[in-house]
Amino acid sequence: MPEIRAEGLRKQYGKVTALNGVDLTIKDGEYLTIVGPSGCGKTTLIKSIAGIIQPDAGEIKINGGLVTPLPIEDRGVGYVFQEIALFPHMNVYDNVSYGLMVKGVSPPERMGPVEEMLHMMNLEGYVSLYPRELSGGARQKTAISRALTSGSTLLLLDEPLGALDLKVRTVLRYELRKLVKDLGLTAIHVTHDQEEALSVSDRIVIMKGGKIIEVGPPLQLYLRPKEIFTAKFLGEANFMTGEITEAKDTGISIDVNGSKLNAILSGEVTLKKGEVRVIAIRPEFLDLSPKPRKGNSWACDIVGASFVGDSMRYEVHAENGVTLLIKTPIAGVESSFKAGDKAFVTLPEENLILYELPEEGLEKTLSLE
Amino acid sequence: MPFLRLLNVAKRFGAIKALDDVTFEVKDREYLCVLGSTGSGKTTLLRSIAGILKPDEGEVYIDGEKANDIATEERNTVYVPQNYALFPHMTVLENVMFGPLAKEIDKKTAEETAMRVLKLVRLDKRADAYPNELSGGMQQRVALARGLASGAKLLLLDEPLGALDVRLRIELRTELKKLAKESGFTVIHVTHDQEEAMTIGDRLLVLRRGHIQQHGTPYHVYNRPERIFVANFVGNTNFLEAIVESRSKEGSILRLREGLKIRVQDPSFEPGEAVIVAIREENVSITPEPRGDEINRRSGEVTAVYFLGSFTRYVVKLTNGDEIASRTPVKEAKVEINQGDWVSVNFDPGNTHIYEYPTLGLPSELEAS
């Protein structure tokens, strides 16, 4: 049950800075995911921890011991990546027992741990099948089993479900989390799928441009992201800017393009009249109704309505020219709207998140590159 | 008159039936999404319509004309494959202008069209770059732009957003549909992402092992899945095994394992018949309940909690050992429910679907390929 510490990691590829000073501690027994747009450095980070990539600067410690100079085989890590790499000429059983074989464990002694692992992964029915005879999901489960049978307690997962169809991916991610917890492993999992990250992690790391933007538990990052980019990247969010017209202990009023918005803030209010703020709100917290509601209710035109199964997605143009995305669960819908309808959108005052206007400009902060 | 019509199309590769008796129609200017997993025949379908593959049996009609013997170039159709092949020695702009120029459209118009579609895929600023200077996701966007600029009437898109980051994929999908509608394209868009398919498809075609499973509007497919496979593949669904105990005008009483009873609205099965009950996860609600109330027979213990962003997913083990999952909108989760809590499980008898018990058992029906 190792603790991993990365300090001051830097990596440069020509003109591209893949890691620009990364500090991160992964706690013993933690399931940590790393997310971020393409090119954010997440793959370079996990490969540096694994020992596949040598950082230009910085240190990596596993349980306090410096491992930066060590190759992957000496770091005691199990590494699973997106391109499933099983030995094609070996069946599932032999693939899974490979690690123990290399360590010189005799066939009878290998049986116990291998069978236990196959049982945990529900692979008992597949032992004599060859990789080409397996579905994508079963192949990746075999790869994970192989990575773990050699006894590593640190599992590094580099887009482990990325090559699989969405449906299989959703089922496997829950199994993966359960496995890591049942075995008491420490796991670092890189993914581009934010729902995957939210559902399996103890903590999530958000990266952009070779830097860590924010680290925290899923619920906190989703509901109270400290950084604008977190709100943008993890889940969906609407963004607008407004000027504070009134600031009291109980809350503040903001003018957004001529429409008024009241917000309740947690903690001490240090905002002053005249300051400009970025306001973020998740689409599922917005309400759509035929008549204005109490609170922040703006008239709007519905310009798009699409059915996505468990929810409806609406795009609306509000009275003040702001475009908003609204997501309504079907179960709770009181009347449904279609494109072309006029309605009112309510922005609950307790669900508004305020940010300082970033120095680099809002557009740059929100950009994925 | 339909713009595209397939009649009993079949295609075999050795022993594998990639397409088997495929018949459907696509209206002029319709946006059809073909949904299926790897190996379902999606790509073979597109290639057969494009004329790259010759079907073994059946007919393909494009714009009223039998197209089986018409060459690919003459079909007024453009196929954008998943593995985009850009011209490496041409810039992004030249790649996109290639189609219009080949059609002898004047250079100025060709360039205007090209820039318009490049703007749509957010690459107008990279018009002068060469393919090898772009990321995989960017190259895919160029390939898509090239298809959009080609001037063909029928657009065949194979996972056009597959290589993109989730954030970008969500943003681009809506714009892709808008552009297709504005330009009057008829589109067949292949994907394994059900949310993508439902958001942008006028209609969906669900494919499995070369067979059409269902064809209809997203709303119809989601709310009236005709097969267990569709109920599982589109959306997130619980499946419970049951025996019909009795039926009346109000519906049926079903007996789950260990005698646990539930009521459903569908009265179409005879008492004594073995069935599968499908209940969408978002239609299952859970409420906290003090432990020890064994009289309520639809209660259970929360065995896992997954935060998904706009929803929280709870897995509950019922008193009979069956597991049932509930998806609760984060907005409605007023009371905190944790792993180990005892809860009461409720669902509306009208929000269930009943299927005949499959001859080969439930797992074989759920397999994607």
Q: Each residue of A229-246: pLDDT tens digit?
A: 999 999 999 999 999 999
The neighbour count for residue B109, using CB atoms within 10 Å, is 12
User: Which residues of chain A from 289 to 318 reach within 8 Å of chain B, CB to CB?
Assistant: 304, 306-311, 313, 315
Which of these, B48, B63, B51, B50, lies nearest to B8 by C-alpha position? B48
Q: A236-366 in CATH: which number? A: 2.40.50.140
Q: Does A225 lie at the interface with B, CB-CB under 8 angstroms? A: no
Q: What is the reported pLDDT for B288?
A: 87
CATH 3.40.640.10 is the classification of domain B4-228: no
> Is A253 within 8 Å of A201 (Cβ atoms)?
no
User: What ipTM does the predicted assembly reach?
Assistant: 0.84
> Is B198 within 8 Å of A308 (Cβ atoms)?
yes
The neighbour count for residue A185, using CB atoms within 10 Å, is 19
- Domain extents in chain A: 4-232, 236-366
Q: How far apart are CA B213 and CA B34, in angstroms?
A: 11
Which of these, B55, B61, B60, lies nearest to B41 by C-alpha position? B55
Which of these, B302, B312, B343, lies nearest to A219 by C-alpha position? B312
For residue A85, give Cα distances in angstroms to A39, A123, A341, B20: 23, 17, 53, 32
Q: How far apart are CA A339 and CA A303, in angstroms?
A: 5
Cβ-defined contact of A233 to B280 (cutoff 8 Å): no
Cβ-defined contact of A310 to B332 (cutoff 8 Å): no
Mutation target to probe the A interface, by most A beta carbons within 10 A, among B206, B284, B313, B331 is B331
Determine the distance in angstroms separating the CA of A243 from the nearest CA of chain B, rounded to an integer: 27
Entry pTM: 0.87
Cβ-defined contact of A194 to B309 (cutoff 8 Å): yes
Cβ-Cβ contacts under 8 Å between A and B: the total is 112
Q: Which residue of B has its CA nearest to A232?
A: B167
pLDDT < 70 stretches in chain B: 290-297, 334, 369
Neighbouring-strand partners of residue A329: A311
Q: What is the reported pLDDT for B77?
A: 92
Cβ-based contacts of B200 with chain A (< 8 Å): 306
Q: How far apart are CA A311 and CA A333, in angstroms?
A: 9
Angle at alpha carbon of residue A13, lines to A9 and A14, rounded to 5°: 135
Q: What is the reported pLDDT for B290?
A: 64
Q: What is the reported pLDDT for A152?
A: 81
N- to C-terminal Cα separation, chain A: 36
- Domain extents in chain B: 4-228, 237-366
Q: Which residue of B has its CA nearest to A203?
A: B307
Q: Do domains B4-228 and B237-366 have the same CATH topology?
A: no
Neighbouring-strand partners of residue B60: B6
Buried-exposed string B214-238: b where 16+ CB fall within 10 A, e elsewhere: bbbebeebbbebbbbbbbbbbbbbb
Q: What is the reported pLDDT for B178?
A: 86
Mutation target to probe the B interface, by most B beta carbons within 10 A, among A15, A207, A306, A315 is A306
Give residue for tokens 């009181």: A334
Mutation target to probe the B interface, by most B beta carbons within 10 A, among A13, A206, A234, A307 is A307
Q: Which residue of B has its CA nearest to A38?
A: B165
CATH 2.40.50.100 is the classification of domain B237-366: yes
Q: Which residue of B has its CA nearest to A196?
A: B308
Which of these, A105, A101, A228, A121, lies nearest to A183 by C-alpha position? A121
Q: What is the pLDDT along chain A (369 residues), one digit of tens a residue?
A: 578 999 999 999 988 899 999 999 999 999 999 999 888 999 999 999 999 999 999 999 998 889 988 888 888 888 888 777 789 999 999 999 988 888 888 989 889 889 988 888 888 889 999 998 888 888 888 998 888 887 788 999 998 888 788 888 888 899 889 889 988 999 999 998 889 999 999 999 999 999 999 999 999 999 999 999 999 999 999 999 999 999 888 789 999 999 999 998 776 667 889 999 999 999 999 999 999 999 999 999 999 888 888 899 999 999 999 999 999 987 655 568 989 999 999 999 999 999 999 999 999 999 887
Mutation target to probe the B interface, by most B beta carbons within 10 A, among A135, A139, A166, A303 is A166
Q: Does B135 lie at the interface with A, CB-CB under 8 angstroms? A: yes
Query: What is A4-232's CATH number, 3.30.1310.10, 3.30.390.30, 3.40.50.300, 3.40.50.2300?
Result: 3.40.50.300
Closest Cβ opposite residue B307 in set A218, A282, A306: A218
Angle at alpha carbon of residue A135, lines to A131 and A137, rounded to 5°: 105
Cβ-defined contact of B331 to A218 (cutoff 8 Å): no
For residue A108, give Cα distances in angstroms to A197, B269, B299: 39, 53, 46
Which DSSP symbol is given to A360? T
> Is B251 within 8 Å of B349 (Cβ atoms)?
yes
> Is B197 within 8 Å of B218 (Cβ atoms)?
yes
Q: How far apart are CA A191 and CA A161, in angstroms?
A: 8
- Nearest-Å Rg of the Cα atoms of chain B is 25
The rounded Cα B209 to chain-centroid distance in angstroms is 15
The neighbour count for residue B139, using CB atoms within 10 Å, is 20
Cβ-defined contact of A309 to B198 (cutoff 8 Å): yes
Cβ-defined contact of A330 to B282 (cutoff 8 Å): yes
Q: Does A250 lie at the interface with B, CB-CB under 8 angstroms? A: no
Give residue for tokens 């887009």: A159
Amino acid at A157: L
> Is B287 within 8 Å of B346 (Cβ atoms)?
yes
Q: How far apart are CA B62 and CA B67, in angstroms?
A: 6
